[in-house]
Structure 1
Amino acid sequence: MSFCKVLAAASLATALNVSIASAATFTIDAGDVTVSGGDLCFPGDCKLDGSIKGGSFDLNTVGDTANLSNLFGWRVLTTSRWATGVGKYSVNATLNFSSPSPASTSASGYAGFITLLGSVSGGVLAWTSGSGIVDFSDGYRLSYTLNDALKLGFGTETTTGASFTLEKTPAPVPLPASALLLLGGMGVLGGFRARRQRATA
């Protein structure tokens, strides 16, 4: 492929990307949930541990929604496999995004559990400030809602999630700028063709 064709193709690709690019990958980093409160277990001790497992999702256009069902991990930690007891806590979490550009948001709520012989457990999680908006420096905006939970089952671990909706994308570069770039590439192509025809005449 000749240089002039490559230049024209690159100009066309650049023009299209400048005017329509909006898709992005959003990445939430793993981290800890701050848990504070009280518990009473016997034999041994128990407490609630929370973590942000993190994750990534792609959103293409305004209005698209993504669900991360395992964004948070929760565990009842016990010092005895036969521990039986209850706990009540306040929880605070900060979601740190590393892409498409650094951003963060915080949420708070409360959680509680009951566990029987370290085998059957139940828990409740309710976010009191679990929804909001995240603005990114490159122009993207997300709205989010963290999921409440009420669960009962075997074991001492569970997960909860959240949903994210794309509210805004970066403003595209005005079309005239990309059109001028495309016309410039086409002009170079025309110039090379005319030069070749004169050389072969």
Structure 2
Amino acid sequence: MKYKIQPIIIFLGVFSLCVGIWQILQIKTMILPSWFLLLLPVPCILLVSFVLGTLVKKILNSKWRAITFASIFVIIFCSIFYISNFRSVYTVVIPEGYVGEIRLLVSNENDFSINNYGIGYIDRKTFDEGFYPKIIKGGNDITKQVKEYSKGALATSSGDVYSYEYLSFSVLAKGEHVENKDIEELIKIKAIDTSRLYRK
């Protein structure tokens, strides 16, 4: 029985590694492609796991193969990585005809139903910890069309100066450019509900 369990452990190790690779590929980067992030952690995990697996085999004087112990360490490392990088998935719903920048302003609640001016709301915890977006426009999933996300702040200059933090991304056709309204104009036309926002 103890020998029959080895293929199961090895399979779980390979499965854990595949899940870890998939998770790394979901990370959005501003400059380098997501697959570039695989070049360092995956070889390191495999090397360290194999070394530790070999040591444990010798220390225990076990008849199990070193790759079985290495698979156990792969499972441990990938589980730690998955738990530490877990992100909730939220659906961002965009009006069908909207083209331009989407801004999720830091608020006291999550409201991912984007209005006709590209404005939605995200609570402080989700903003700080991050999340995996599922972007729906006109009933179609366009998540893969969005290549990058950024964080920033919008400032007002009337009276006291306030700065509102936000997460943003753009929904544009290839080669298309759209001028976005500034925050004062959006507030003036009541596209932004400032009573819901956190001020820096």
TM-score range, shorter chain: under 0.3
TM-score by length of 1: 0.23
TM-score by length of 2: 0.23
- Which structure features the higher share of strand residues? 1
Q: Which has the higher contact order (CA 8 A, sep 6+)?
A: 1
User: Which of 1 and 2 has greater Rg?
Assistant: 1
- Which structure features the higher share of helix residues? 2
